[in-house]
Amino acid sequence: MSTTPEDRIRQRAYELWEREGCPVDRSEAHWRQAAQEINDEDSQTSPVSAKSPIRSRPRRQASEDRRNGPKAHALKAAEAAARQYGLALSDILETLSQEKKKGRRTS
C-alpha cells in the first residue's frame, strides 16, 4: 500500500509536534516544516522529477483548523497525554470538565 505525500507530511508533522512536547500553537509551522522535509527527501531520491511541489498545507485542513481552533488542539493534547500516561482519554476529559466547573484553571 502506497502512502500519499499528504499522508507522509501529516505523519511527519505529528512526529515534529510530539518531539517538541505537543505545543498547542505550532501546527502550521510543523506542517510547513514537514512539507519541506518530505519535498526535500523526494527531490533527493528522484533528481529529475516531474512531480509538482507539495503544497504547504491542504486548504480544507487549514480551514478546519481555523474553524476548530483551540478546542481541536486541546483534544489532541489530551489524546497525547492519555497515550503518554497510559490513561483513558475519557478520564482526562472528565477531570478537565470537573476542574472547569470548579472554576480552576488547568494548565
User: Is the pTM of the predicted complex or chain greater than 0.85?
Assistant: no
Cα separation, 31 vs 72, in Å, equals: 16
- The better pLDDT of the pair 19, 56 is held by 19
Instruction: HSE, CB side, 13 Å, CA atoms: give it for residue 59.
Output: 0
Which tens digits make up the pLDDT trace of 34-86?
999 988 888 877 655 455 555 555 655 555 555 556 666 677 777 777 777 77
Report the chain's terminal Cα–Cα distance, integer Å: 41
Cα separation, 88 vs 79, in Å, equals: 9
pLDDT at 61: 59
- The better pLDDT of the pair 51, 89 is held by 89
Lowest model confidence (mean pLDDT) among 12-26, 29-43, 56-70, 89-103: 56-70
Strands (DSSP E) contained in 5-67 are none
